[in-house]
Structure 1
Amino acid sequence: MTTTMTSKGQVTIPKPIRDALHLKPGAAIEFSVNAQGEVVLHSGKPKMGKAVTIDRFEAVRGKADIKWRTDDLMALLRGDD
């Protein structure tokens, strides 16, 4: 299969290759050159130590150990005595 490189160095990976590697939009891709000078394309794996972004609200959902009642919480926040 042949593809054309743009002036920015971008190429389109042909669909049969994307399908074979199970590549989806946003997927990491690793390139290497083997001993014969051929470019080898690998489905990239997330690097160790790279943090996965988690929604900050999902990260704390269900973590509270105090069961607040709405009226009690509103009284505390408003300063009602």
Structure 2
Amino acid sequence: MRVTEKGQVTIPKDIRDRLGITPGSDVEFVVADEGVMLVKVGDARDAFQSFDDWAKSVEGRFDLNGLSVDEHMDWLRGPRDDLDRH
């Protein structure tokens, strides 16, 4: 994708369709250390708010049955021979 002399780019149709971006839609560029994301205004905030609500609703409900975090991770994925746990 090439930036024009006016600093414009064309958002590919498949991305516009996926995000519901139509003429007149508001979009934002969200800057992160890894790069930049294009988001439809409102969608990212709504998604983060929904996630925060969900996280608060399950806070304190995860029971490791007395296992440490490392023991639980070993239980989930199996022991790791590539790690030295001494």
TM-score by length of 1: 0.48
- Of structures 1 and 2, the one with the larger relative CO (CA 8 A, separation 6+) is 1
TM-score by length of 2: 0.46
Higher helix share: 2
